[in-house]
Amino acid sequence: MKKTDVINSDISRVIAQMGHFDTLSIGDAGMPVPKETEKIDLAVSKGSPAFLDVLDNVLTELAVQRVYLAEEIKEQNPAQLEELKQRFPTEIVFIPHAEMKQNLKTCHAFIRTGEMTPYSNIILESGVTF
């Protein structure tokens, strides 16, 4: 039995397989996921689980050196943006939402939450622990 907080076997496996500069995405229920990207679907109902709850869980195991957010979050979901800024002392890179959707093709996986607020999507770039 695992001792850490990430007990979802698919999420744990993906994090364990990641290397430096690899990416993992977490997002809202409406984000379109490319067919070639593994989707770990955690959504149970509207709002459950919440995007920030899943993100906080992943951050207990994944070393992150950079994050990517949609430029549109600044105007469409400023409260969520403020929550994210509190979690990341690392560099935040803002990209157009259309580019973020394209970048999902190179992510190890996309973790779908039940989040129902706009632009609650993030790409996490893995760092190293040494």
Name the DSSP class of 73. Answer: H
Confirm whether residue 121 is marked as ligand binding. yes
Confirm whether residue 28 is marked as ligand binding. yes
Cα 33 to Cα 35: distance, rounded to the nearest angstrom: 6
Residues 6+ apart with CB under 8 A from 115: 27, 28, 29, 47, 50, 51
Cβ–Cβ under 8 Å, residues 22 and 66: no
Confirm whether residue 56 is marked as ligand binding. no
Tell me the DSSP string of 100-125: HHHHGGGSSEEEE----STT--EEEE
Tokens (6 digits) for 5:
């907080």
- Catalytic residue, chosen from 4, 7, 20, 30, is 20
Residue 108 designated active-site:
no
Confirm whether residue 119 is marked as ligand binding. yes
The annotation places the binding site at 28, 97, 119-121
Per the annotation, where are the binding residues for substrate?
28, 97, 119-121
Residues designated as active site = 20
